[in-house]
Copies of this chain bind each other. A is one copy, B any other.
Amino acid sequence: MDTITKEEIANWFKGLQDTICNSLESLDGKAKFKEDKWDRPEGGGGRTRVIKQGNLIEKGGVNFSAVSGPTPEKILQALKLDKADFFATGVSIVLHPQNPWVPIIHMNVRYFEMSNGTWWFGGGIDLTPHYVIPEKAKNFHQHLKDTCDKHSPALYPKFKSWADDYFYVKHRNETRGIGGIFFDRLSDADGKTKSDQWKFVQDVGETFIPAYTDAVKGLNEKLWSDTDKDWQKIRRGRYVEFNLVHDKGTKFGLDTNGRTESILMSLPPEANWEYDHQPTTELQKQTLKALKKGIDWVK
C-alpha cells in the first residue's frame, strides 16, 4: 500500500483538476475554462486553466502542475541540505465571483518529495466571503470538519487553527476570510502511513466541489447594489495584500522563478484601494468583526 508513486499522485491530481473544472462549468452555466499547457525549463510543467466573465465566476483559475529538477536553494537552506533533486505536484484553485454576495474560495492540495527520500503532503481549503453570513460559514466549516473527522477527530481543530494563523493579514489585524483548514508537511509521523496521508489529501480535494456548491447556493441570485460592489472591490484589495505580502506559496513561487501568470492568477479583477476606508453598513461592520482568529463556526 505504501508504494504510492509520484506518478500516481500527479495523475490523480490531473483527474481532480478535470473533475473540478467540469463541475465548475456546470455550476457557472455560461463560461468555459481555457487551458494553457506550459513546460518548466528545469523540468516538468503544468496545465493552467482559467475561466472568466461567467454567470458565477468573474475570474478564476484551476491549475495543475508537476515540476521537478534541482531543489531551489531556499528549500535546501531551510532543510539544511547541500543538494537534492525535487518533485512537486499539486492543484491550486482561486475563484473570484461576480456577485459580492458570493464568497471567494481557495484550495490547494500538493505533494513534495526529494531525492533523499523526504516527502510530504500539504494543502487546505478556505473561504473569503465579502459579506460573512454565519449559517453559510458554519456549513462550510462543517464540510471540512466532516472530511477531517473521517480520519481523526484531532485533525479539524488542528488544521482549522492552522488556517486561522496562516490566512492572517497582520498589518490589518484581520483574517483574510473565515478560514477553513490548512496543513503542511504531512509525512509518516504519528503512526500515519503515506497511504493514510494520501487518502486524507484526496478526501480534501474531493470536498472542494460540495463545499463550494453549498457556499454559493442561493447567493448568486441575490441582487447587489453599488455599495455592495464597492465593498467587494475593497475586500479584493485585502485579498491582494494577503497574497502579495504574506502568502508563502506566492512568495516562494516568485522567488524561485516560477511561472508568474500561473502564480498570480489568484489576483482579483477590479480591486480598489481607498484611504482609510470605513464600513458603511451594519453587515460590513459585522463582517469585519467576523474576520478574527479563533471563531468556532461549527459549534
Chain A residues with CB under 8 Å of chain B are 36, 48, 50, 52, 59, 61, 170-172, 233, 237, 240-241, 244-245, 251, 254, 260-261, 263-265, 267-276
Contacts and interface: CB of A to CB of B under 8 A. Distances in A.
Q: How many copies does the complex hold?
A: 2
A144 B14 CA distance: 54
Contact of A245 (B254, B268, B276): B254
A265 B270 contact: no
A238 to B, nearest CB: 10
A58 to B, nearest CB: 11
A63 to B, nearest CB: 11
A268 B273 CA distance: 6
A237 B245 CA distance: 14
Given A233-B270, A261-B276, A269-B272, 6 more contacts: A170-B254, A237-B267, A240-B271, A244-B245, A265-B275, A269-B274
Contact of A260 (B171, B244, B254, B272): B171
Nearest to A241: B244
Nearest to A243: B244
Contacts of A237: 267
A64 to B, nearest CB: 15
Contact of A275 (B50, B170, B171, B271): B50
A124 B274 CA distance: 25
22 contacts: A48-B275, A52-B275, A59-B273, A59-B275, A171-B254, A171-B260, A233-B270, A240-B240, A240-B244, A241-B244, A241-B264, A244-B245, A245-B245, A261-B275, A261-B276, A264-B273, A265-B275, A268-B273, A269-B272, A269-B273, A271-B271, A271-B273
A233 B254 CA distance: 22
A271 B274 CA distance: 12
B240 A172 contact: no
A198 B290 CA distance: 49
A268 to B, nearest CB: 6
Contact of A61 (B48, B265, B269, B275): B275
Nearest to A265: B275
A261 B211 CA distance: 35
Task: Identify which of A267, A270, A275 gathers the most chain B CB atoms within 10 Å of its CB.
Answer: A275
Contact of A36 (B241, B263, B276): B276
